[in-house]
Amino acid sequence: MKITKRTLAEAWQRTAAGHAPLHGIGLPPVALSEDELEACAERAGEAEEDSLLLLLDEDGTVRGHHGPYREVFAVRDLDQVLYLIAESALARPGGGPEETAAALDRIDPAWGRRFRGGGLDDTGPAEACGRDPLEGLAWIAGPWREQSPYTTLSFFRAAPGQPVDAERLALLYGADPAQVAAGTRLKDLQAEDGGRVHWDRQWESCCFGQAGGWTYLLHHDTPPGAFADKEAYAALGITESVWLTATSAKAIYTLDYVRDGRRVDDGWGVLELIWYERGRAPYLRGGELDFLNRALRRAELDHPALTGTFQLYFHALEESLGLRLPRRDFADGEVRAAYWAAR
């Protein structure tokens, strides 16, 4: 059945009236055009509300928005629309994800399973990971927000059975060939002149290695040799790359995920990590990054004591993409390192 403004309003009225957790919660503003949506967003902004807005297409597709440009879902199934409205209304700041799940359980157990799974179906969550997230990638989330140990965390992998050579990658980006050949470690750079040299030159350095099937290269400013030799770079056979960049002075933290030569972003452009709020899926539901929505929900429910959104986000990256960084190697200075070669 095609969704109309009337059928949507009537369905929500019945749903809200029939379930205590939704009593008093009205249908979000429904716009029938982009102009109407912008007007709704302007009114919400004046009221300092980040509420859900709905744009109803002529074909019955309901598009959920936060603001006029950030589309968070596009569905044509009435039950999914009602669920997403309820989820948005109940997942309020200050409340925990389990609290939201319990409220949705009281409305419909299938809705509770759907929320715990993080997707648009009701298959429920995957098996709990059972590990301390701070022993995995999440350890670096805190210092990285302050651009430590590096501003940019980049990860690369090739086709199965074709690992990316960490030394070749570092050299292509401009690492000092002599230090790469010598197997220089971070502790070697830090030891020179009691650490004073590295203190002055750390912005000219990088760390690199392999972990979890990925090759990582960590650095600050754009490396002097980045992509200079495109043929040599292509010869590495890279099919996936993940870039995490922190600009703490401006509170900008971004994710850039490239697979098979194209950016995975649902057409959103730059993906800022601050879009993620605990208990709310940050990316388009059912979109290219829905795997991260699901991984984040799992992280929230598996680790309720971990309330830092950046730590949860990094744990979700580890669980969904397998990103790793060897915490002990960095702590002990055993990770491979080099300065950029003199130019």
End-to-end CA distance of the chain: 66
Q: What is the pLDDT of residues 306-329, one digit of tens each?
A: 888 999 999 999 999 999 999 999
Q: Specify which residues 35 forms β-bridges with.
A: none
Give the closest residue to 274 by CA, choosing from 240, 305, 250.
250
Q: What is the pLDDT of residues 237-265, one digit of tens each?
A: 999 999 999 988 788 999 999 999 999 99
Strands 30-31, 214-219: pairing is unpaired
Q: What is the pLDDT of residues 175-211, one digit of tens each?
A: 999 999 999 999 999 998 777 888 888 999 999 999 9
- What is the model's pLDDT at position 42? 87
Q: What is the pLDDT of residues 8-59, one digit of tens each?
A: 999 999 999 999 999 999 999 999 999 999 998 888 776 556 689 999 999 9
The contacts of residue 147 (CB under 8 Å, 6+ apart) are: 220, 246, 247, 248
* φ, ψ (nearest 5 deg) of residue 4: -120, 170
